[in-house]
Amino acid sequence: MLFRAMQSGRPGPVAIEIPCDVLDASDDVEILEPATVTRPEPHPEQIYQAVQLISKAQHPVIWVGGGVIVSEASDELLQLAERIQAPVFTTILGEGAISDEHPLAAGSSILHPASCEYLAGNSVPDPIGALNSNEFFAACDAMVAIGTRFTEEETNGWRLRLPESLIHIDIDPNEINRNYPATVGIVGDARQSLRQLNQLLESMPLQNSADRSMEVDKLKKRILQDCCQLAPKGVELVQRLRTALPRETIIVSDLTIAAYWCRRLLDLYQPRTYVYPWGFCTLGFGVPAAIGAKLAQPDQPVVLLSGDGGFLFNCQELAIAVQFGVPIVVLLFNDSAYGVLKPQQEKRYGRTNAVDLVNPDFMMLARAFGVDSQRVESIDQLDLTITKAIESNQTTIIEIPLQLPLPIMEPAPRLLHQSRNQ
């Protein structure tokens, strides 16, 4: 019953309490077969209404959350995107649902001003220059949102303006209309819902048939250009990481500025290759999460992106990695501070308090745990160092002294509105 509850509806952890006397008892018991969980089917009328709306949309867009990953619905998502020629934005939990190499993959920079302009149907200048500024993105007149809750951070406090026509698919009925009003709400499993949408759309004439990959390409170039202007070192870091890491690498992120840049710009190619502490968003998540990821997928490299402050929360778990032979690579970005908090204090109060760190010698700390370690002095040494660490199949710490600005690019106020008052 408990395993069924864990896998039913929105899957999640289940707490179980076992009294000590039961643990000490013995008996002959029957070994039960694993419970078969049936994923909920969407209502046919909801699917029909959604298809009618999609077929009339001239510039649809897709927003993908973690429900697509959990449901293993990437193939169905890709089929829908290509059929209706819709750019695909992903939330943090939806990263990898569509390969970032696909021409319709718009990435996760949903709150970048250019993305907000695009979603709102306003003009977005060509990134090449003012001479081509008369080329604008077309207005988005419909959105298909799948397996997402429209959380506060992803919508800038629910002020992000979305297209007027919204189809919201979620396995939890409580999420429909919770944060944004849905034109059509579909309660059901993401894969089952997408399959049925695709089946009906096969024979349905569409208003939209144009290839929209150029729009997505323009949007990505605009975002990359802005990021290069803000922090060229951040962009270089992401590019070097992507070059060095095998495609199947599982990237685990603690909370650190370098990881924030990767969250926005690092290309991912398959589901379940990006692990992020969404929800609690707590420091210290990284080391134990990386160990867990490696235990779950021993044949895939696991690389942790961690700051110095977050690393010290749970660095003692390296002893477990060594004891049980669980090889992970830790990229330790050292700015001798709680780098996310420090600029916020400076901006708000003109001074800082308790955010500068006196760190240990991380190379000596690694040796104390029996872990390989190396310090690189600049990110241009990172490619080869990462490759060697992965090939060694040993737990390795690579320390990188690096200071980066926060990649916070909030949309202009005119692009935002209080959706709750719609």
Q: Assess if residue 182 is contained within a domain.
A: yes
Q: Assess if residue 364 is contained within a domain.
A: yes
On the question of pLDDT at 44 being above 50, the answer is yes
Judgement on whether residues 93 and 175 belong to the same structural domain of the protein: yes
Task: For residue 296, give the CATH number of its domain.
Answer: 3.40.50.970
Judgement on whether residues 179 and 266 belong to the same structural domain of the protein: no
Q: Assess if residue 136 is contained within a domain.
A: yes
Tell me the per-residue pLDDT of 297-311, one tens digit each, with 9 for 90 and over.
999 999 999 999 999
Q: Assess if residue 297 is contained within a domain.
A: yes
Q: Which of 31-35, 123-127, 333-337, 403-407 has the lowest mean pLDDT?
A: 123-127
| pLDDT category of residue 114 using cuts at 50, 70 and 90 | low
Buried b (16+ CB within 10 A) or exposed e, 202-230: eeeeeebeeebeebbebbbebbbebbeeb
Cα distances from 20 to residues 16, 31, 123, in angstroms, run 13, 21, 65
DSSP per residue, 167-203: EEEES-GGGTTTSS--SEEEES-HHHHHHHHHHHHTT
Domain assignment of residue 139, given as a range: 44-217
Tell me the per-residue pLDDT of 199-247, one tens digit each, with 9 for 90 and over.
999 988 998 778 888 888 888 888 888 889 889 999 999 999 999 999 9
Burial category of 318 from C-beta neighbours within 10 Å (exposed 0-12, middle 13-18, buried 19 and up):
buried
Judgement on whether residues 77 and 171 belong to the same structural domain of the protein: yes
Tell me the per-residue pLDDT of 259-307, one tens digit each, with 9 for 90 and over.
999 988 999 999 999 999 987 778 999 999 999 999 999 999 999 999 9
Quote the CA–CA distance of 319 and 209 in Å, as a whole number: 56
Q: Assess if residue 413 is contained within a domain.
A: no
Residue 253 pLDDT? 96
Judgement on whether residues 282 and 347 belong to the same structural domain of the protein: yes
Taking the complete model, does pTM exceed 0.75, yes or no?
yes
Give the total number of structural domains in the chain.
Answer: 2
Domain boundary, last residue among 162, 193, 217: 217
Amino acid present at 58: Q
- How much is the average pLDDT of 312-323? 97
